[in-house]
A and B are shown apart, each in its own frame.
Chain A
């Protein structure tokens, strides 16, 4: 059998195993919206740990992080840095959000804010912001999955067919099992990705340099600039600390506020399971260290690989590794793509219905119809994303980068909702609108930034906080909003 056949068969086995893992939980979850979106609030630490971990580690992390290490050196450490910081706010915010969800029946992020500030426009704005962030993210995951299967078969399976095969599996288990299917497949995929990453991250440096230490000695001799903090910019010049630091901060804040992660607080069985998940979460970050080693391994041995993101497949081909290993790595990359894509797809559909359609329909959907509407939305969102993945030529990476700055803007309203009772209802909406506008302005016109190099999300956050604070201080808060704020603070 050829390498491609063995590798393709390995990917096929992985897809079947994922499908089975995704369908089984659907047999024991209730046929309600709370069951479909929040797993009947029953997720324990094991599943939460892998859901939160695997959802974030997308195909971009599996292929892009080695590419960053390979082309930009220590700049790649920013991924670990924001991962360390990004989960800590959840340790404090998460349990309170979970209790509020249990008390009021929330299953999405916007529901909490819309209830706290009694604001329907806030709910719709959040739904639009979430969708704007989710669709490019999902499209990139689909393209990643299609690319893997297409590359593996030398184009005999097209990108469109590859994406359809991988996301056909995702669609089936998301439709059938909802978030519990996402949870259990993420557990399987997380373990699988970690095993592959550690194996490759140690195998490649030993194969090429005789060890991790000698590998860095070789880089220090040939490309010392890669090991000078904070690494290199995309154009090969030195990255600035302002750019490095602000990217870490905005990404960390965005990390905490990504709606598909935030929503998992509602799925937690208890405060303890949620807190323990956050406590253990830094151990998942360790998984990125061998991922970076993969990229560093190619610096001296294979200079000039373009694009840098292809360094992992390039190493596998040039080193002529066994066919089974090629298959396992491709399955690992598929796992990275699907573990993020399923969570995003499920969250996007839930948000469309709960935060967009439901408030606009005057709450006229019963539980059964609402669950049905969410499943229809799963289909629609996946078809829209699939269209963009195989047809459109929009610059998705730029859209995704813009999305990170946008998602970070959710942090001030969330903190105000939970910790500042005397915030009037109009303040978070004004702050959020200002933050998004400033973020978009500096994204489109970076030459207007007051401090060059600083991430546009930082300016957006500054505008957001100032506007929210000013409106809060200058406006009168009505008694009902203040009472609800007090209730949130005491929960």
Chain B
């Protein structure tokens, strides 16, 4: 697969400035995961879990899928920020 181009790898994996800090998008991944943890593990959002959501699905299920997609999007954004995009050989390496 193109993302595994070993030539690109050497350049992209040198521990750069971010090795001891986090990019903004990495922090976003952590933040979204923590929010997902709160939402999925505590009764804080219990009222929002009651009733029916779109397509007749239970709202709780919609919330769980929503958090799943939020974590997915946060990971995609950070991955794009680091590598330039899914399926591309090499992109800009931001360090936030």
Chain B residues near A212: list those with CB within 8 A. Answer: 55-57
**Given the complex of chains A and B, what is the CA–CA distance between A211 and B67 in angstroms?**
24
Stretch from A14-22, A134-142, A180-188, A280-288 at the B interface: A280-288
- Least Cβ distance of A112 to chain B in Å? 18
The residue from A95, A220, A273, A286 contacting B1, defined by CB atoms under 8 A apart: A273
Cβ < 8 Å to B, chain A residues 71-85: 74, 77, 80-81, 84-85
- Least Cβ distance of B88 to chain A in Å? 10
Given A248-B40, A276-B3, A283-B72: A88 in contact with B15 (beta carbons within 8 A): no
A contacts, CB < 8 Å to B: 44-46, 74, 77, 80-81, 84-85, 88, 91-92, 95, 99, 211-217, 220, 227-230, 241, 244-246, 248-249, 269-273, 275-276, 278-279, 282-283, 285-286, 289, 292, 489-491
The answer to whether B64 touches A80, judged by C-beta atoms less than 8 angstroms apart, is yes
- Least Cβ distance of B20 to chain A in Å? 8
Majority secondary structure, A binding face = helix
Residues 31-68 of chain B: 1 if any A CB is under 8 Å from the residue's CB, otherwise 0?
Answer: 00100110011110010011010011110110011011
- Least Cβ distance of A281 to chain B in Å? 8
The answer to whether A241 touches B42, judged by C-beta atoms less than 8 angstroms apart, is yes
The answer to whether B58 touches A216, judged by C-beta atoms less than 8 angstroms apart, is yes
Chain B residues near A91: list those with CB within 8 A. Answer: 29, 75
The answer to whether B33 touches A85, judged by C-beta atoms less than 8 angstroms apart, is yes
- Least Cβ distance of B1 to chain A in Å? 5
**Given the complex of chains A and B, what is the CA–CA distance between A213 and B75 in angstroms?**
31
The answer to whether A269 touches B4, judged by C-beta atoms less than 8 angstroms apart, is yes
- Least Cβ distance of B32 to chain A in Å? 9
- Answer yes or no: B92 CB below 8 A from chain A CBs: no
The residue from A77, A85, A220 contacting B37, defined by CB atoms under 8 A apart: A85
- Least Cβ distance of A17 to chain B in Å? 24
Cβ < 8 Å to A, chain B residues 60-87: 60-61, 64-65, 67-69, 71-72, 75-76, 79, 82-83, 86
**Given the complex of chains A and B, what is the CA–CA distance between A92 and B75 in angstroms?**
11
The answer to whether A490 touches B72, judged by C-beta atoms less than 8 angstroms apart, is no
- Least Cβ distance of B72 to chain A in Å? 4
Chain A residues near B58: list those with CB within 8 A. Answer: 74, 216, 227
B contacts, CB < 8 Å to A: 1, 3-4, 6, 8-9, 12-13, 15, 19-20, 26, 29, 33, 36-37, 40-43, 46, 49-50, 52, 55-58, 60-61, 64-65, 67-69, 71-72, 75-76, 79, 82-83, 86
The answer to whether A45 touches B52, judged by C-beta atoms less than 8 angstroms apart, is no
The answer to whether A282 touches B71, judged by C-beta atoms less than 8 angstroms apart, is yes
Chain B residues near A80: list those with CB within 8 A. Answer: 64-65, 68
The answer to whether B15 touches A490, judged by C-beta atoms less than 8 angstroms apart, is yes
**Which 5 A-B pairs have CB atoms at the shortest separation, nearest pair first?**
A213-B56, A245-B41, A229-B49, A81-B40, A282-B72
**Given the complex of chains A and B, what is the CA–CA distance between A272 and B89 in angstroms?**
10
The answer to whether B36 touches A272, judged by C-beta atoms less than 8 angstroms apart, is no
**Given the complex of chains A and B, what is the CA–CA distance between A89 and B94 in angstroms?**
21
Chain A residues near B40: list those with CB within 8 A. Answer: 81, 84-85, 245, 248
- Least Cβ distance of B58 to chain A in Å? 5
**Given the complex of chains A and B, what is the CA–CA distance between A98 and B86 in angstroms?**
20
**Given the complex of chains A and B, what is the CA–CA distance between A74 and B67 in angstroms?**
16
Given A212-B55, A272-B12: A81 in contact with B41 (beta carbons within 8 A): yes
**Given the complex of chains A and B, what is the CA–CA distance between A275 and B29 in angstroms?**
13
Chain A residues near B64: list those with CB within 8 A. Answer: 77, 80-81, 84
The answer to whether B52 touches A490, judged by C-beta atoms less than 8 angstroms apart, is no
**Given the complex of chains A and B, what is the CA–CA distance between A245 and B86 in angstroms?**
33
Q: What are 19 sample pairs from A and B whose C-beta atoms fall under 8 A apart?
A: A74-B61, A81-B64, A84-B40, A88-B75, A92-B26, A212-B56, A213-B57, A227-B60, A244-B41, A245-B40, A245-B42, A248-B37, A248-B41, A270-B4, A270-B6, A272-B9, A279-B72, A282-B68, A490-B19
**Given the complex of chains A and B, what is the CA–CA distance between A216 and B59 in angstroms?**
11
Given A248-B41, A282-B72: A491 in contact with B60 (beta carbons within 8 A): no
Chain B residues near A272: list those with CB within 8 A. Answer: 3-4, 8-9, 12-13, 83
**Given the complex of chains A and B, what is the CA–CA distance between A91 and B57 in angstroms?**
31
**Given the complex of chains A and B, what is the CA–CA distance between A278 and B60 in angstroms?**
24
Given A81-B64, A282-B72: A45 in contact with B3 (beta carbons within 8 A): yes
**Given the complex of chains A and B, what is the CA–CA distance between A270 and B67 in angstroms?**
28
Chain B residues near A289: list those with CB within 8 A. Answer: 61, 65
**Given the complex of chains A and B, what is the CA–CA distance between A241 and B29 in angstroms?**
25
**Given the complex of chains A and B, what is the CA–CA distance between A358 and B79 in angstroms?**
38
The answer to whether B37 touches A249, judged by C-beta atoms less than 8 angstroms apart, is yes
The answer to whether A213 touches B72, judged by C-beta atoms less than 8 angstroms apart, is no
**Given the complex of chains A and B, what is the CA–CA distance between A309 and B76 in angstroms?**
36
Query: Chain B residue with minimal CB distance to A76?
Result: B61
The answer to whether A229 touches B42, judged by C-beta atoms less than 8 angstroms apart, is no
- Least Cβ distance of B10 to chain A in Å? 10
Looking at B41, B46, B61, the one whose CB has the most chain A CB atoms below 10 A away is: B41
- 10 new A-B contacts, CB < 8 A, other than A217-B56, A227-B58, A270-B6, are A44-B3, A81-B40, A84-B36, A85-B33, A91-B29, A245-B41, A273-B3, A276-B3, A279-B76, A289-B65
- Least Cβ distance of B79 to chain A in Å? 5
**Given the complex of chains A and B, what is the CA–CA distance between A276 and B55 in angstroms?**
31
